[in-house]
Structure 1
Amino acid sequence: MILALALLTLALAALPACLAAVNLSLLRTPEPEPEAPGLVSILIPARNEAGVIEGTVRAALASAGIAIEVLVGDDHSTDETAALVRRIAETDARLRLVAVPDLPEGWTGKNHACAVLAREARGDHLLFLDADVTLKPNAAAGLAAHAARAKADLVSGVPRQVMESLGERLTVPMINFLLIGYLPMALMRLLPDPSLGAACGQMILMRTQAYRATGGHATIRTSLHDGVRLPRLFRGQGLRTDLVAGHALATCRMYRDGPQSWAGFSKNAREGMATPRALPVWTVLLFGGHVLPWLVLLLALVVGNASAAWVAGGAALLSLATRAAITLVVREPATTVPLHPAAICTALAIQWNALLRPTRAGVAVWKGRRYPITGAP
């Protein structure tokens, strides 16, 4: 019985190891073309982002290799966000501050701000950035060039994640781990199935014509998870989406501590894996492949089952090796690798809490706004 359980953990650890090996060979940092035609509109929705907005805007304006405009949507900020952007705009005509109107009923704040910015944009491509994302100079040109080469209507990548607190290191690395360890990217590029669509909402480039044809953020107006809903929207209408290695294109510090990380990942969990059908499967995959091997190893050592101990130990090491390989490639802190089993437990705790909690609360609170919690589309 213990040996059978150990073999199961080995199989569950081998799945993300194999997918990660393939995906890491497919993910590439896009290179810009020598002379990129067209205009990229860099669109930044901002609500009370005075602590980061100046660095984000100046980095966007430093984009090289392609013509750009930068639009910042001030979504009723009560801090110095708008004033900081206005001061920079006085010295650079490529920057515009857009006042976001009052939030209509049935919209989430980010989707509304993004839709407003898209209406004001003049570019051939729309590059949506979260206000805490700092672009590298070649990022906009590289993403636009990749979209043209891959004939993709939507291209996204995960910026290099900056993590300083323990709470961040227990939560944020799961973004890359889930994408690289569990999304079959070869099939994503081969098949049009919407369920294979994925993106990182921190940085998404879309062809303007495709965005307007699909309805863009207006079509997903109630969503809190644009990284899932937008690529699935595009693919559902026969358009191509793709992922690239984003760690060399931008950096981002999503959260500042554990409570903020928990709240941030909880707010859109119900549109991801925290559904009654999906979460039990994810629990088996994640807990079984990355936590259970350690428990079986301990049990095997206690009862003296050497064969089970060797198999479970191999599964545990394979799990850590997979996480280490992903961490190395995406330039995340190496100190997060030993935390991997705890990070898996934290992720599952967030998801189960999000699934069960609506019976008591029913709302998500983000950026001072309250939204009804809805399930996956």
Structure 2
Amino acid sequence: MTALIALALGVAVLTGHTLVNATRWLRRPAAPPGEVTEPVAVLLPLRDEAERVGPCLRALLDQRAVPGLRIVVLDDGSTDGTPDVVRAIVGDDPRVTLLTGAAPPPGWLGKPYACWQLATRADPAATVLVFVDADVVLTPYAVAAAVTELRSADVTLLSAYPRIVVATAADRLVQPLLQWLWLTFLPLRAMERSPRPSLAAAGGQFLAVDRAGYLRAGGHAAVAGRVLEDIELARTVKRAGGRIALADASRLADCRMYADWRQLRDGYSKSLWATFGHPGAAAVVVALLLLLYTAPPLLVVAALSTGSVPAALVAAAAYLLGVAGRVVTARATGGRWWPDALAHPVSVVFLGWLTLRSYHLRKRRRLSWRGRPVS
């Protein structure tokens, strides 16, 4: 019983931390009262995005309150007609430049190299670079809000997390874990104040950076071979003396990351090994997550089968506290909580399986993404 109480208390502490992060420290950019006065370059890397670049690009063309906005699009070796789709949407809009990307040289992965080409070929007058992925659809004041928050927070890099759109059962099980993990385990206030590179997180879907600070840190050239180039870029910025911040942009942007289960599975598999680093560390973290969030409902059943009602009540409390953490996260980031949060133990099992798969495929050098190997 003592161990069970300790488990419930551990979950309670973590859920309490989620609540504090969500209600006190989580930044929420909003449309600014006036226009952004500095020049801004929005950078959009594309590789085989013909089917979904349309909404993203139209939303970029509809941005308001940023009179100095320029959009730079880079086609990274697409074979599905992506450049033709871009040209059809853009027409002769002078704000948009379409570039043809080069193949990544040795030591580079595709996404960092595409972003680096965009950053180095954007208008030199632009003082802020905003990286956007093709699966992100912005509201009309999203760029203005992100740039304003970047400046008011006095940080070098602002990672604005969009609302994750879920459509399938797999989406609903796995995707909400993105926000839940950093809201639960990352002290947001300490992350902003601490110079420690290890205390960093970022999402590359919607990222605003001060250009001078970005270049001082080495930009994407400093993370050329990194699978998680967004997190590594945040760490590199810190190493160069810059500051970073996370923000909830669920009212500013939507993102449907993967179209189906296969894409979701392969997308997480290519990068989870890089999230945890050493396999031993991954094993410890996954085991702890399973103990805290998957074991409680199983212990409820076990306790009831032996007639131990007090133990069943404590285990049920641990389970419900874990569910509460998911509810807090969903409400804070524009996600869906009912009834998805009730399946939180199953979500953690899926995360463990995807992590195991990621290490397995990496060991056998079988990881790839968008037709390119991931080393």
TM-score bucket (shorter structure): over 0.9
Give deviations 1:195-253, integer Å, cap 9, x for gaps. Answer: 11111111111111111111111111111112321111111221100011111121010
* 2:113 equivalent in structure 1: 112
Report the AA paired with residue 64 of structure 2. A
Whether contact under 8 Å (1:33, 1:142) holds in the other structure is no
Q: What is the aligned counterpart of 2:239 among 236, 245, 251?
A: 236
- Pairwise mapping of residues 190-209 of structure 1 onto structure 2 (< 5 A)? 190-209=193-212
1:114-136 deviations in whole A, cap 9, x for unaligned?
A: 00000111221111111111111
Counterpart residue number, 1:29: 28
Could you say which residue in structure 2 is the equivalent of 1:131?
Answer: 134
- For residues 296 and 227 of structure 1, what CA distance do their matches in structure 2 show? 38
Report the TM-score when normalising by structure 2. Answer: 0.95
Instruction: State the alpha-carbon separation in 2 of the partners of residues 188 and 13 from structure 1.
Output: 22
Q: Counterpart amino acid of 2:65?
A: G
Indicate the residue corresponding to 1:62 in structure 2.
62
Partner of 2:370: 367
CA distance in 2, matches of 1:336, 1:304: 30
Instruction: Report SS of the residue matched to 2:198.
Output: helix
The answer to whether the 8 A contact 2:42-2:129 is kept is yes
Match for 1:112: what amino acid?
Y
Name the amino acid aligned to 2:95: R
Q: Is the 8 A contact 2:217 2:239 kept in 1?
A: no
Q: Which residue of 2 aligns with 1:6?
A: 4
Q: Give the equivalent residue in structure 1 for 2:87.
A: 86
8 Å CA contact retained: 1:89, 1:96:
no
How many Å separate the matches in 2 of 1:310 and 1:321? 16
**Shift of residue 33, structure 1, vs aligned partner:** 4.6
1:291-370 aligned at under 5 Å gives the runs 291-334=294-337, 335-359=339-363, 361-370=364-373
Quote the residue 1:375 is aligned against: none
Unaligned ranges ≥5, structure 1 = 373-377
Amino acid at match of 2:21: N
Does the 8 Å contact 2:193/2:243 carry over to 1? no
1:4-61, Cα deviation, whole Å (9 max, x unpaired): 3322321331232021111102213213252321122111100110111121111011
CA distance in 1, matches of 2:262, 2:172: 12
Structure 1 residue 354: Cα displacement? 1.7
CA contact (8 A) 1:65 1:141 kept: yes
For residues 168-209 of structure 1, the C-alpha deviation after alignment (integer angstroms, 9 at most, x for no partner) is: 222111101101111111211221111111111111111111
Q: Return closer, same or farther for 1:212/1:365 CA change in 2, 3 Å cut-off.
A: same
Contact 2:216 2:240 in 1 (8 A): no
- Picking from 219, 226, 248, the partner of 2:229 is 226
**Counterpart Cα distance in 2 of 1:137 and 1:224:** 31
Consecutive unaligned residues of structure 2, counting only runs of 5 or more, are: none
State how far apart, in whole Å, the 2-side matches of 1:272 and 1:312 are. Answer: 30
TM-fit CA distance, 1:346: 0.3
The question of 1:180 aligning with 2:183 is answered yes
C-alpha contact (below 8 Å) 2:109/2:227 kept by paired residues = yes
Which stretch shows the higher mean deviation, 85-94 or 346-355?
A: 85-94
Question: What SS does structure 1 have at the residue aligned with 2:374?
Answer: strand
One of 262, 265, 278 as aligned partner of 1:262: 265
Among all aligned residue pairs of Structure 1 and Structure 2, give the percentage whose two residues are the same amino acid. Answer: 31
Looking at structure 1, the residues matched to 274 and 161 of structure 2 have their Cα atoms a distance apart, in angstroms, of: 19
Task: Determine the structure 1 residue equivalent to 2:103.
Answer: 102
| 1:123-150, Cα deviation, whole Å (9 max, x unpaired) | 2111111111111111111111111111
CA distance in 2, matches of 1:75, 1:189: 33
Runs of 4+, deviation exceeding 6 Å: none
Choose which of 245, 248, 255 in structure 1 pairs with 2:248.
Answer: 245
The answer to whether the 8 A contact 2:146-2:160 is kept is: no
Contact 2:150 2:156 in 1 (8 A): yes
